[in-house]
Each structure stands twice: as C-alpha cells, then as structure tokens.
Structure 1
Amino acid sequence: MFEPGEDAQSVSIHVSVLSSLTMSEQEQKPTLSTWQWFVNDLTNVKLVWVKLIFFLQSAGLVVLFPYLSIHMKSMGFSLEDTAWVTSAMPIADILAPPLAGIIADKMGNFRVFMCIITFLNGASSLVLLLIPRLQDSSLVEDVALNITLGSTDISSSNADWTTSFWSYLASRGVLDVFRASSLTLFEGAMSSIIREHGGDYGLQKVFGTLGSILFGPLAGLVIDLGSKVVGTEDYSFAFYLYFGLRAAAAMVMLKLSLTFRRGERKVLTNAWAVLHNLDVISYLVAFFVLGVLWGYLENYLFWHLSDLGVKKIMMGVSLGAAALIGLPLSLFSKRLLQFFGHNWIVLMALIVYVIRLTTYSVTLNPHIIVALECLKPLSHSLIMISVFNFIMSVTPKEITPTMNSIFGAAYFGVGRGLGGLIGGFLMENYGTLPTFKSFAVMAGVATFLYSLVTFWIKIRNRVSYSEVPLRNTLPT
C-alpha cells in the first residue's frame, strides 16, 4: 500500500520498470528461451491485473481520442478552432502528472486515488456530449448571411460560438488532465508491481496492443451504426464506450497491491549534465520533431479522411491494422535495436514520415491513405521503445524518470502541441494537400540534418549507439 509520507511525485510520464534495476541485477537474470520467457510471464498470477488494465486502457484510448478532432468538426467548429484546442491539450501532459503525484502523496492511498482519477477521466468525457452544436454552417458563413439579409442576429451567433467553444475547451482540458494523470500514475504503479513480482514490460504492453487491435475497428463500427440510427453524424456511442472501459479499468485497479519507496532527490543537476551530451541533444531534438509530425497526423489525418467521405469503420480498421503490425515490433524490439542502433531507428521513422506525408500530398485515394497507416508503428511504436532504451543506456538509474519526463514533454507535450497548432492553421489558410507537403519537407530536412549530425558524432566517437549495451527484459 501507499503509506502517508511516501513520495508519489517520483511517478513520472512513461516511467519504466527497468529504471529501478541495476545492471548487475539484470545480468544475474538467467537467459531464457523466447517460449520460456513468454510462458513464465503469462503464468505469473500477480501480473494478470496489470495485463488486464493495459488491455482496457489501450482499448479506451483508441475508441475516443483519434476521433476527437472530427467530433469537433461534426459540432460545427472550424479547423482554426480545432487547432487552438489541440495545441492547448498537451499542457496536461506536462503539468498534470506532477500535480497528481502531489495530491496522491497528501492523500496517502495511491491505489484508491488512481482508481478515482481513472473513473473521473471516463466520466468527464461525457460532459462533451452536453455541449450544444453550432449551426450546420460555420460562424463566418452565418455572419456573412446575416449581414446580407440585414439581420441583427450576428451578436447572438457570436455568443453561441463563444459559449460552445470555451465550454468545449474547458471540458477537453479537464478530460486530458484526468487522462494524463491516470496514465502516469498507472505507469508508476505498474513499474512497482513488476519490480516486486518479476515479468516483462514489453509483454504487458503487448496486451495493450491487443486492446487497440480489437477496439479500434469496433469504435469505427459503433460510430457508423450510431450515426445511421440517429440520422446524423453521431459520436455519442464512442463516448459511452470510453466511459465503460475507463470505469472497468478503475475497478480492476482496486485489485492491485502497491508498495512505493521514496524517490531520489536533487536529480536536476545530474539531468542537466546528461543534456550537455551532444548525442543526447541531437536525439532529443529529433524526438521533438517526430512529436510535431505525429501531432499533426494524429489530429488531422482523420479530418482529411472524413472530408474524403471515408466511413468510421475504415478509420477504425486502420488503427487496428497498425496495432497488429506493431505487435512483432514490440516483441522483438531488442533484436531490432541491436541490429540497427538507435540512430538508424530515428532515421527510419523520419523517412517513413517523408513517405507517408509525400504520398498524402499527391493523392486523394482513401484506400492508399489508409493502407499507409500500416507504416505507423515504424514511426511511432518502435520509436517509443527506442527512446526508452536510449535513455536507459545514457543515464544513471537515479535520473531515468526525470529524463523520461523531459523526452515525454518534448514529444507528447510541446511537439504534439505545435504539430496540432501549425497543422490546423496551415490547413485552414492553404488547404490540406499543401499542408501535407509542408510537413513532408520538414521531415525531409530533419532526416538530412540528423543524418549529418549522426555521421559526425560517429566519426568523433568512433562508436554508434548500437554498440551501447541495451537494458531490456526481452530474452536474448
């Protein structure tokens, strides 16, 4: 149990189970075959609840968050409105986790607090359904029509937009604060459980991937069926499904048995010293650029597909297919990282973005666009594993959570926010295809510059990242 006075603030974004293991502890682990490793983890009763929560958690995220931008579109909001909202939401990923840690520390019962936050995350999503839609046309069109007709309802239309927009922004903010807090607290709890009972972090994440595979297409299906029933585009069933999955995850969290130790103090000085390393700086900048590219596509690719008339079930299938392809990448990530090295994984991700964005900029064929979503794991899922191992290889374990937070803020916070903001304004003012082309150029320039920096560092150090020992629980 989490006792009063113990430090919950040490729980950080994307904290890893391996951050608590010393190299000597890992070296003492016996080498297991892939089958033995798999069976041992599956038969560990203590980890059943962790796997189930990962499944419910990933299933919940995939049924709602990919559709939030087109949900705003269905409510009558413009691309510019959506850009402002999506650029503000990553603030939750930066500020909410430490605040949640402080509250959990004061409350004294980590498990119950995590359960409450998770349930409130699901419940807060339903508030978005209470916000009234705007008129079928945009506010600008309404105002222009009112001027033409000599109507005096302009101020009324503006008031309706103001009420709806700020209500939506506030509600989304609450939703994302609870989401970021819940996910972060669970990552910390999960790492504590695996430290105590053994197990493999990658395999627990595989069960989360299974949740995405199953519920990605299901979400698209329920949106299409629900819209057909009510006679207009309707996303309420996705919100209800999200609430149900988050409520179920909250209940399962009560089954967890948690113990925590006080976190390390005064780690900022050591973290700053690590950030002076050119290898780390170049990787962090590249990771930030990848966050910008991911933030744009994550927020607006479905918007583009919606404009092309693609059904939601097809969007959901693309999510499930991408998750399915990501399964072997998660299972054999150690071998891939050892073979290619961290720098080549980053370059691969950037090249994949160049291919995807360039193709999106020259075609309006939805089947080609959806098919290219299958490349997403190479530019997102594998990068998440790579950055985790990179941080473990260049930082002492005492400051690993801090470095995880810095990299997480660069990708999920600032990077994703800028991608959403810049992408939305470019699409609003210049169109969708030119915006895809602009981001493709950004990815191409980043690929070229990172190649030069990596080549120069390799010559200087006479060693590549692939030669740095990787800390990973996957079997050799």
Structure 2
Amino acid sequence: MEGKNITRKELVNVNLLSLKCLMFCFFGGMGCLFPFLPLHMLATGLTYEEAKIVSIVSPIVAMIGPLVAGPLADKLAGRQGSNSRASTGKYLRVMIAVTCILGAIFYAALMAIPRVERLTIPQERNPQVKFSCDESGAIVFKDRCKLPATCYEWPEIKPGPIRLTNCDYQCKLINPEPRIQDDVTTLKPFTTDYVDEGESSGDLTVIPIEENEKDDRQSIYKRETIEPPHLCVKEDGLDVCHVYTTSSGSINIYATLQQARNPNEISERCAYPLSDQFSCRIPTVLRTKMLKFNKSCSIDCDLYEPYKMSDSVLAQVKCQQLIGNPDHTFWSYLVVRSIADVFPTTAVALLDAAVVIATRETSCGRGDVGRQLAFGSLGFAIFGPLTGYLTSLVEGAQPSFSIPIDIFAALMVISALIAVFANGMPLSPPEWWWHTRSGMLALPMSAIKRYGGETAALLFVLVIMGIFWSAMDTYLPWHLEQLNADVVLIGVCLTIGALPAVIFLWKSEHLVDYCGHSNLLITAFTIYIVRFTGLSLVSGDPWWSLASEVLELFTLGIMWVTAILYLRHLVPRHLTVTAQALPVIAHFCIGRCIGAVISAYVDVGQRNVDSLRFVYKCMAVAAAIIALKYFIWYHALIRPKCHAQSTQGPRQPPTIMEAMNGNGNYTPLRVYHNGRGRKGQFRY
C-alpha cells in the first residue's frame, strides 16, 4: 500500500500543478502573439522596410530585461536565503507577475497607435508608364505621384500579364538615371526604302549623324538594315523571343515587377525592374553607330491599358491618398514594441529559473523540467491556431489583429494571478545553495572560471541557433501571406511544432541523458537543413510548409530543454536565474537580431516569395556547414580528449563535484553527456 502511494505521488506532484498552469497560460499567450505580430505591423500601416527595422531593433532592446532581472533575482534570493531557512521564493513569483502585467499593458498599447492608411486616388489621368529593355534586362518606368512623392511599394509581388505596343528602338544619352523622355533619337522605319528579305525581313531605319562629324559630312543619313525589335525571355533554360513588327499590333508577356530601385530619389519617374530574365537584342551596327554620340540604345514600348487589363501587374500602381502620419506611427510603434518585448523575454528567463528551482532532481538524478515545459508547449500549440480562427471569424478578410493582442493580454493577467496566489509553488531554494564553500552538495564559485569556456561555447552555439530560428520565423508570416495563406494557416504553421514537442519534452531529461547535449545540438543543426530546404521548395500551396514547421520540436523544443539542463550544472546554484537568462539573451535577443538582419539584407528591394526562398536556400547551406564542423570538432577533438582524461583519472585531488559523483572521474557534461556516464548521484 505504501508503494502504491509513493508511485501515485511521483506521478502527480500537487505542488507543481500551479507551475504547470502558469507555463500553460504564459506560453499560450505567446502562441497568440508570436505568429501575428509581423502581420500586425503591416496592418498598422508600417511599410515592409519599417517593419523590418522594428524586427531588428526590438530584440536588442529586449536584452535589457534578462540582463537586469537575472542578477537582481539572484541577489534577492541570496538575501532571503541568508536570513531565513524557509524562504518562500515569493520574490520570484512577484517578478514573474510584474513582467506579465507590464507585457500585457505595453502590447495592448500597440492598439492605441494611430494607423496609417494608403488609399487609391481616382485621377483623371493615370500615371504614364513605359517599358524599356536592353541586353541587361527590362524596366518599367512610371510617373511619380505628387503625394506621397515616393514609389509604390508592393504588398504582394506576383506575376501578371503586360501588353506591349508601339515598340521601337530608342537611343538616349548615356545617363546613370534613364528617363522616359530625354535627349532621345527615335528610329522610325524609312518607308520609301523597304528591303524585303523574306521571313527575316527588317525595316530600313535611318540613323542621324551629327553635323560636326566631318568624316560623314557628305552623307547626312546612312541606311542600314535593322532587324525588328526582339524581346526575349528565358523559359526552361531556352530563350523565347517575341518579335514586334509594324503589323504586330501588341505583344502579351507574363512578367513580375520588383520593388522600385529608386523609391526615395528625387526624380520624376519610378523604375520597376522585371524579375524575369528578360533581355532585348540590340543590333550591333546600331549600337556601334550610337556610341559615337555617347548614346545607348534600347527597345521602348508603350503599355496598352496598364490599369484596366484583367490581372495586370500594374493595377495597384495608382496614386494613393495617405491618411495619417507615417513618421509618427513608425516611431511610436518602434518605441512601444521595443519596450513591450522586454517583458516576455524577461519572463521566459524567470520561468526557466522557476522550473529549475521547483523541480529539484530526485535521488535518481532527474527532475521534472521537461514536464513543466511540456505544458507550456501545449499552450503554445493550442492558442496559435485558435487565435487565428477567431481573428478570421471576427475581423474578416482584412484583420487589424486586435484579437491576438487582446487574448495575449488576458492570458498574461491570468498568469500574473497564478504567480501571485500560488503560495504552494516550491520556489524556495535549499539552504545549502548559499553555503557552497562549506557544503559538499553544490558547485563552488570556482566552477565559473573552470567551466567558463564550456559555458561560452554553449552560448555561442545558442546564438547560431537563434540566427537560424530568426531567419526562418521572423518573416515567415509574410512569406505565407504572399502564398495566399489565411490567418488560420499562419497560426497553425508557426505553432504546429510545439504539439509533437509535448511528447518529447515529457521524457526530455531521459533523452538528454541518453543522447547527450552536444549530440542533440548537432541534431538540431541537421534538422535546420531539412527545414530550410523544405521551405525553399514551397512556392505554391502554403500547406506544404507544415511539413517543415512540424520539425521545430527539435530545433527549438529539444534544443531549449538541452540548454536549460546544461546550464543547470555549469553555473553555481545561487546564480540560477542569471544562468537561465544567458540562453534567452543569446538565442532570443542576439541571435534573433542577427537573423532578422540577414533575412532583411538578402531580401532588400524584392520582398517576394522567390527572395525569401533564396534566403532559406542560403541558410540551409550554412546549417549544413556548421553541423559538419560542429560534428567534426566535437567527435574528433573534444570527445576523445575527455574520454582519455576519464580513463586515466585526475592528476589533482577530486573536486567537490567529483566527490559527489563517487568515482573521482567526473568532468561535468563533457563525459557523461556522451553516453559513458550518468548523473545518477546528483541531488539538489
């Protein structure tokens, strides 16, 4: 009977129920917020460039929270521990509650920022557009609108039809900034002398010669046979050319316009390059003649009804009316969002420390860290899709994304109430944590210096992991939206990986013991190769992205619990909160910022599906290189060295931790985590 009671007590720890509820509500709130913040920035009226600046700056500002809260919490714990043997850990619960409340307040403040609307202005005359093409590519020029005097920024770039007419050769003065109307020599057919060459006939075109050219004074015009304009595009590796003649009428092409290459320059016209591999053949004789007059030639065409054609790519490029103050909205959003990100980031570090403290390792050497995190992962997986569904149901096709922020704020308030009133939550550190020098059960302060290199190496790995995570997830909602995904699918994609992670986290400590910390980190790098490759192949149906996102349980879930367990032993116990703040800073602050910069830099000027797919391809290659180097470095250099030390035995007297292990051969984590040892004798 007594054995049954013990078994039941081990399965259901009543003291940890409040902690599980806290983890579920807090990370459930993060699941509401995380997938939809990038979309909320655009819904507020920020441009893509402004939204990227916010995504880059906010992680750096968020670093302040863990940097301050970690040492402060450890100092408060030390003060209570030295004065009372029965410290309740209330300081930690209050800090968690405060960060949750402040996070709810500042994220709710985002809804009070005035929105910017860009409305299309019906005009009597639409902006004039012109198509220009040469050997280097094709560009569409469009007159600028007066207000605002910037070029249109595509919210979604996709291919569409363009109908070209009145195509002809035009030679312009060589100028780094071409214009529609410049010092232009238009080469019209010389209709009195037409040369018939059968199927390959061309027009006899006159080429004017400047009068100051003495060599050609006697012949003002030279007649050359010039082929009709050829507009070519690569399809499946082959050049397919459209030939325009006087009897062609118009040519229909399928093209994708990129973002303007001169959005903020002082010029009359915006230049939109075509992303497709267009090229136009300029006859050699024409190019040679015009170089004498410092002119370059191109094929210029008019666009037939660019704003009225069905599915035209230029249908959106109309002058817009700006409602609101873009500068005020941007700076307000940047400041409020940066401050708001401080508090969830801080709360994650405090919660990780609370889990480590509350789940003291048992006599078998394992606690319940993974089980507490499993409830947080479950909340993250549930509330993401649920919030997306409610948003689509309540706010319709053009949501303002107030529903995710409202639900997040409500869950943060609930989390704060749980933290404040859960007096039974076992957050009181054992007394011997504060007597590391005299006791034999805790890591001494000298361990900071001894294992500082190993800690630094782990944090460096976490920074790299954060870069990969940020490069993938920071702009993934935009990528899915451009693939015509709705808010429900976006919520599912960005949180689906947390659902299978629940199963793995439940037995995560056994998994870490068996596989080893470094082996799991190598596995995470390897899974990143698969995830990036999978996303780079998704160009049509966004549902295919689920296959890549479900693997996030390895790249984030298992990786995170591995880092928590690793640092639990590398850093002295009385610095637990500071220790758990380090991976948050490395992964979710530094790594997240660098990843956002990399993705934004590669994506500059394009912001379409193809550019993000290119980012994913590059990151897949980077993950493969790092995984290979890490594997070789660890298994070829570090592991054999540590194994040799463990077989030969230490040359110096055993340390406190070695004495705890009982065999005198313990090197924290470097030996036992590769499968040759167990931490069975560890007790908190």
Give the TM-score, by structure 2 length.
0.56
The answer to whether residue 624 in structure 2 is matched with residue 444 in structure 1 is yes
Deviation at 1:259, TM superposition (A): 4.2
Q: Is the 8 A contact 1:393 1:469 kept in 2?
A: no
Query: 1:53-92 residue pairs with structure 2 within 5 A?
Result: 53-92=22-61
2:561 to 382, 385, 393: 385
In structure 1, what residue type is equivalent to 2:557?
Answer: S
Q: Does 1:211 align with 2:211?
A: no
Shift, 1:189, TM fit = 4.2
For the pair shown, the structure with the greater C-alpha radius of gyration is 2
Report the 3-state secondary structure (helix = DSSP H, G, I; strand = E; otherwise coil) of the residue aligned with 1:66: coil
Q: Secondary structure at the match of 1:254?
A: helix
- Aligned pair in 2 of structure 1 residues 79, 354: CA closer, same or farther (>3 Å)? farther
Identify which of 37, 40, 58 aligns with 2:9.
40
The size of the alignment, in residue pairs, is 433
> 3-state SS of the aligned residue for 1:276?
helix
Measured after TM superposition, the shift of residue 418 of structure 1 is 0.5
Structure 1 residues 336-378: Cα deviation after superposition (integer angstroms, max 9, x where no partner): 3333322221221111111111222233131221222111101
Q: 1:52 aligns with which of 21, 36, 44?
A: 21
AA aligned to 1:348 is: T
Give deviations 1:223-280, integer Å, cap 9, x for gaps: 211331xx52221011111111111111122212254679799998743442335xx5
Q: 1:455 aligns with which of 622, 635, 645?
A: 635
Letter in 2 for 1:165: F
- After superposition, the C-alpha distances for 1:285-329 in whole angstroms (9 at most, x for unaligned) are 332211100112221112210111111212223345322211121
The one-letter amino acid paired with 2:29 is G
Which letter maps to 2:675? E
Aligned residue number for residue 303 of structure 2: none
Q: Deviations over 1:85-116 (max 9, x none)?
A: 22222234432134346777789973445423
2:405 is aligned with 1:247: no
AA of the residue aligned to 1:51? K
- The 1:402–1:362 alpha-carbon spacing in structure 2 relative to 1, beyond 3 Å, is same
> Which has the larger strand fraction?
2
**CA distance 1:343–1:233, change in 2 (3 Å):** same
**1:127 Cα deviation from its structure 2 partner:** 0.8
Structure 1 unmatched runs, 5+:
1-31
Pairwise CA RMSD: 3.9
**2-side partners of 1:183 and 1:99: how far apart?**
13
What do residues 391-413 of structure 1 show as CA deviations (whole Å, max 9, x unaligned)? 34555545565444333322122
Is the Cα contact below 8 Å between 2:520 and 2:559 reproduced in 1?
A: yes
What is the aligned counterpart of 1:172 among 337, 351, 365? 337
Q: Distance in 2 between matches of 1:182 and 1:348?
A: 28
Closer/same/farther in 2, CA of residues 387 and 473 from structure 1, 3 Å limit: farther
Cα deviation 1:51-110 (Å, max 9, x = unaligned): 111111111010012221122123333333223222222234432134346777789973
Task: For 1:38-437, list aligned pairs within 5 A.
Answer: 39-40=8-9, 43-100=12-69, 110=91, 111-136=93-118, 148-151=144-147, 160-195=325-360, 200-228=368-396, 232-257=398-423, 259=428, 270-277=447-454, 282-364=457-539, 365-392=541-568, 394=570, 397=573, 401-429=577-605, 431-437=611-617
User: Residues of 2 paired with 1:434 and 1:176: CA distance?
Assistant: 29
Structure-1-length-normalised TM-score:
0.79
**Rounded Cα–Cα distance in structure 2 between residues aligned with 1:264 and 1:448:** 43
* Contact 1:392 1:470 survives alignment (8 Å): no
8 Å contact kept, 1:362–1:433: yes
CA distance in 2, matches of 1:200, 1:64: 27
**Structure 2 contact 119–322 (Cα < 8 Å) conserved:** no
Query: Residues 235, 251 of structure 1: CA spacing in aligned structure 2 closer, same or farther, 3 A cutoff?
Result: same
Inter-partner Cα distance in structure 2 for 1:283 and 1:197: 25
Alpha-carbon separation, structure 2, partners of 1:97 and 1:395: 16
Which amino acid in structure 2 is aligned with residue 376 of structure 1?
E
How many angstroms apart in 2 are the aligned matches of 1:356 and 1:425?
21
Q: Distance in 2 between matches of 1:186 and 1:174?
A: 19
Between 1:78-87 and 1:388-397, the stretch displaced more is 388-397
Q: Distance in 2 between matches of 1:461 and 1:102?
A: 32
1:214 Cα offset (Å): 2.0
Contact 1:270 1:399 in 2 (8 A): no
Cα distance change of structure 1 residues 221 and 335 upon mapping to structure 2, 3 Å threshold: same
Shift of the 90–320 alpha-carbon distance from structure 1 to 2, 3 Å rule, reads closer
How far has the Cα of 1:196 moved from its partner?
A: 11
- Are residues 289 and 101 of structure 1, via their aligned partners in 2, closer, same or farther at CA, if it must alter by over 3 Å? closer
- Where structure 2 has 5 or more consecutive residues not aligned to the other structure, the ranges are 81-89, 121-126, 130-140, 151-263, 265-320, 438-443, 645-670
Q: Does the 8 Å contact 1:117/1:178 carry over to 2?
A: yes
Alpha carbons 1:146, 1:152 under 8 Å: kept: no
More helix by share: 1
More off after superposition, 403-412 vs 232-241: 403-412
**What SS does the corresponding residue of 1:164 show, helix, strand or coil?**
helix
Q: Please state whether the residue corresponding to 2:421 is helix, strand or coil.
A: coil
Tell me how far apart the structure 1 counterparts of residues 39 and 145 of structure 2 sit (CA, whole Å).
31
